[in-house]
Structure 1
């Protein structure tokens, strides 16, 4: 799509009316799993007679780019960290749209099943072969093929380019998109920011001896040089885990992981823990301290059990507790400065990789002045991660804005741990799209949701550039 998307008629300031979308689309920054899940659910709901907005993705590269090699997030051969059955429609609970016995609700579920991982394999004629092989985890490249297949079937519309400005305008959002020398204005009723964003970085990358996540994967595709025999990896989350596995097992290099905790913890994945990822019912009744502990234990600074199992096969990996506070060039290597327990020590390595993950607030750098002012007013102060995490309502949007700004990557604390990753894409799309249907409300039950009803001002969205591979 090269022409600006139509904007709904201008409205006076006031409460957000879900009927206002009036044909204007929901804009998503990034054509990754979240955008595709929304496009699939939107197409299914519109076919069933629901008046939900169409989805338009703004993407600077290609569909599912961050799941393919050469884009800076994987070499394509890494295995998916989530069960593939947790696909674009999972958990296939259509209760948001009506009673389970209603034929229309059953039709929604049936149509969604046509976009499933199994449906993709059936369309390719390889479903039986996958079952006979023991249902192996797909590679990132295979997952990208599935996402692209679903996006094509759902007729996901996209605008090519990078979002340079996201501004509130006429009761919705206006994105300024740049592709080379071309500038396009894209208008919509709401905005959803997807993807982890660019690496936040603990230490500055120099592109040769000190690399960020993208720099490593680009170099890995080209071939890691022979001189890089000893490597320090900063970070202990799933991004770091896949890099460590590739270095130690795929490349036979000596790896030291610097992590802020005592050891490299594994991610909790019992049926009891997984249930909150698939179905966050009861999540908001937990104390905030318990929710934070749950997220820390299951999804932050932990390696998946698959990565842990793979690393158990090698003696190439060691770890050190502490935080990297700096790096400097030594004679023929890099000196890594590590602080722990009030003391500092030096670790030497041929190569340093900062795998501490993306900056969840990166989108704020492209907000226009009206959007930034509205966000500050809605949060009651400066824009911080802590304030945003506590201000996410049931529709995964920031409460108190003039137009919806959906931030699923920051919704774990307030709404459930599965929304930032791939654990409940079907529920995510239900929560978001229900906000635009007058007689439908996303699953109620939180104090925030009470504020997202009749007295919620026009919701607005923020721009960003797709950066997204989420793992769980």
Structure 2
């Protein structure tokens, strides 16, 4: 059964020439932090008089699902790897929407704090206790509660189901969403792809002795089998780090980590490194080689310092440099893990193997319709490749050259700044994306914004718009 949603009007063809969106929403695949940050910023901006689209998320599970236990990415007890103050509004620099001295810009930032982590604690009445406890990192469960609170406060609308097809439709996008055997067609002016997508490991999981990330967390949430005393974890990023910490400290198991680099590196966390996450203004001044090295040093195949400090308490964690080229289960016995490094191959043996190498960053290309696929190929000058897509992302975090915006923040690190794929600059991410729909908004490489010259009311009129959270 198929029907077309009447809630969301189709964008008018050609509207991109004027930057309009004709009342059509901005569609986001996934109702996680990026979608919620966009919904919050959209609500604040619309209350201030900016003609930005409403945000509608398409979600197959529930809001902030990947941060909840039983959903395949955590047991809920793991601690957040990013400072909670780097919340949905961070870095609270709203100069995309006006000059730094414009009262409207300060007012927008102030309004955004009402959706922040501390605002959530104030609403719960637990802010003082959090401060008195030394501002501890929240658990994933607590972070999910914050995200859900902000989504409700921003009135984020969601369409339940799985996106089966994403097709260009005139000047916008058309999503075919499947839920319970029926299809809904949802239309919008732009599309944001968020979330990690389906897991795509380097070995084939069997759900028993060889697990992917989802398999592991579902198993660990219930009970890890007694026979799994030695576990090989493939991968050295934050996903792997959380799994290693859970195994070594939560279950007292012996763990060997297979990492593609020489050792288990710590994520760089100095003020100098963090600056590029919070303010990537000079990011494109760096050479390509330096940008790649920076991302490797601070965000790829590194454990957070929080995880590293915890693992220092255990003597049961070791590592092996190399890449896993295959596994050979032996029925109910140990699994053979073939590792290649420096032109040589060796074999490890483990009771259990967990592939924590993450998802396929180009997963969205599998759901593109024929017109969208052809337009993407034309914009890239050939078939989609990881490096090709990364190089094509512009200041609004969308692929340059498409007839309607396709925003890919998870792939924007190389071209636009290291904070966009993660939680490090959600406020700036939402500014960049929404600026695509406001002709007078300022982007990093654009001219200064003149929002008030485009008919946007002054900051004092925000109160006249009515309560933001009504």
Task: Please give the per-residue CA displacement for 1:88-121, whole angstroms capped at 9, x wherever unaligned.
Answer: 0000011111123322222211110100100000
**8 Å Cα contact 1:435/1:441 also seen in 2:** no
Structure 1 position 345, deviation (Å): 1.1
Task: Show the 5 A alignment for 1:232-381.
Answer: 232-330=232-330, 332-381=333-382
Task: Choose from 11, 14, 20 the match for 2:13.
Answer: 11
Corresponding residue for residue 410 of structure 1 = 411
**8 Å Cα contact 1:18/1:435 also seen in 2:** no
Corresponding residue for residue 434 of structure 2 = 433
Looking at structure 1, the residues matched to 339 and 106 of structure 2 have their Cα atoms a distance apart, in angstroms, of: 56
Secondary structure, in 3 states, of the residue corresponding to 2:437?
coil
**8 Å Cα contact 1:376/1:383 also seen in 2:** yes
Looking at structure 1, the residues matched to 307 and 169 of structure 2 have their Cα atoms a distance apart, in angstroms, of: 46
Secondary structure, in 3 states, of the residue corresponding to 1:315?
coil
Looking at structure 2, the residues matched to 128 and 77 of structure 1 have their Cα atoms a distance apart, in angstroms, of: 22
Secondary structure, in 3 states, of the residue corresponding to 1:20?
coil
Corresponding residue for residue 460 of structure 2 = none
Secondary structure, in 3 states, of the residue corresponding to 2:77?
coil
Looking at structure 1, the residues matched to 350 and 170 of structure 2 have their Cα atoms a distance apart, in angstroms, of: 54
Corresponding residue for residue 442 of structure 1 = 443
**Residue 209 (str. 1) matches residue 237 (str. 2):** no
Task: Show the 5 A alignment for 1:26-45.
Answer: 26-45=26-45
List alignment gaps of at least 5 residues for structure 1. 447-472
The 1:230–1:102 alpha-carbon spacing in structure 2 relative to 1, beyond 3 Å, is: same
Equivalenced residue count is: 443
Corresponding residue for residue 62 of structure 2 = 62
**8 Å Cα contact 2:13/2:172 also seen in 1:** no
Structure 1 position 260, deviation (Å): 1.2
Structure 1 position 5, deviation (Å): 3.6
Looking at structure 1, the residues matched to 147 and 327 of structure 2 have their Cα atoms a distance apart, in angstroms, of: 39
**8 Å Cα contact 1:229/1:254 also seen in 2:** yes
Looking at structure 1, the residues matched to 346 and 6 of structure 2 have their Cα atoms a distance apart, in angstroms, of: 55
Structure 1 position 19, deviation (Å): 3.3
Structure 1 position 4, deviation (Å): 4.1
Structure 1 position 358, deviation (Å): 1.1
Looking at structure 2, the residues matched to 43 and 275 of structure 1 have their Cα atoms a distance apart, in angstroms, of: 28
Corresponding residue for residue 111 of structure 1 = 111
**8 Å Cα contact 1:57/1:157 also seen in 2:** yes
The 1:281–1:9 alpha-carbon spacing in structure 2 relative to 1, beyond 3 Å, is: closer
**8 Å Cα contact 1:5/1:187 also seen in 2:** no
Secondary structure, in 3 states, of the residue corresponding to 1:21?
coil
Task: Please give the per-residue CA displacement for 1:120-169, whole angstroms capped at 9, x wherever unaligned.
Answer: 00000000000000000000000000000000000000000000000001
Looking at structure 2, the residues matched to 322 and 135 of structure 1 have their Cα atoms a distance apart, in angstroms, of: 38
Looking at structure 2, the residues matched to 224 and 4 of structure 1 have their Cα atoms a distance apart, in angstroms, of: 47
**8 Å Cα contact 1:5/1:24 also seen in 2:** no
**8 Å Cα contact 2:167/2:174 also seen in 1:** yes
Task: Please give the per-residue CA displacement for 1:358-404, whole angstroms capped at 9, x wherever unaligned.
Answer: 11000110000000000000000110000000000000000000000
**8 Å Cα contact 1:201/1:357 also seen in 2:** yes
TM-score, normalization by structure 2 = 0.92
Looking at structure 1, the residues matched to 424 and 276 of structure 2 have their Cα atoms a distance apart, in angstroms, of: 10
Structure 1 position 443, deviation (Å): 2.1
**8 Å Cα contact 1:73/1:217 also seen in 2:** yes
Looking at structure 1, the residues matched to 400 and 5 of structure 2 have their Cα atoms a distance apart, in angstroms, of: 31
List alignment gaps of at least 5 residues for structure 2. 448-470
**8 Å Cα contact 1:233/1:240 also seen in 2:** yes
Looking at structure 2, the residues matched to 146 and 17 of structure 1 have their Cα atoms a distance apart, in angstroms, of: 38
Corresponding residue for residue 459 of structure 2 = none
Corresponding residue for residue 391 of structure 1 = 392
Task: Please give the per-residue CA displacement for 1:267-312, whole angstroms capped at 9, x wherever unaligned.
Answer: 1110000000010010001000000000011111111111111101
**8 Å Cα contact 2:96/2:435 also seen in 1:** yes
Task: Please give the per-residue CA displacement for 1:328-362, whole angstroms capped at 9, x wherever unaligned.
Answer: 12361101111112111111110000001111000
TM-score, normalization by structure 1 = 0.92
Secondary structure, in 3 states, of the residue corresponding to 1:19?
coil
**8 Å Cα contact 1:432/1:442 also seen in 2:** no
Structure 1 position 18, deviation (Å): 5.0
Looking at structure 1, the residues matched to 232 and 42 of structure 2 have their Cα atoms a distance apart, in angstroms, of: 44
Task: Show the 5 A alignment for 1:78-227.
Answer: 78-227=78-227
Looking at structure 1, the residues matched to 223 and 195 of structure 2 have their Cα atoms a distance apart, in angstroms, of: 26
**8 Å Cα contact 2:281/2:444 also seen in 1:** no
**8 Å Cα contact 1:96/1:430 also seen in 2:** yes
Worse-superposed segment, 435-444 or 169-178: 435-444
Looking at structure 1, the residues matched to 374 and 5 of structure 2 have their Cα atoms a distance apart, in angstroms, of: 29
Looking at structure 2, the residues matched to 9 and 183 of structure 1 have their Cα atoms a distance apart, in angstroms, of: 20
**8 Å Cα contact 2:65/2:71 also seen in 1:** yes
Corresponding residue for residue 24 of structure 1 = 24
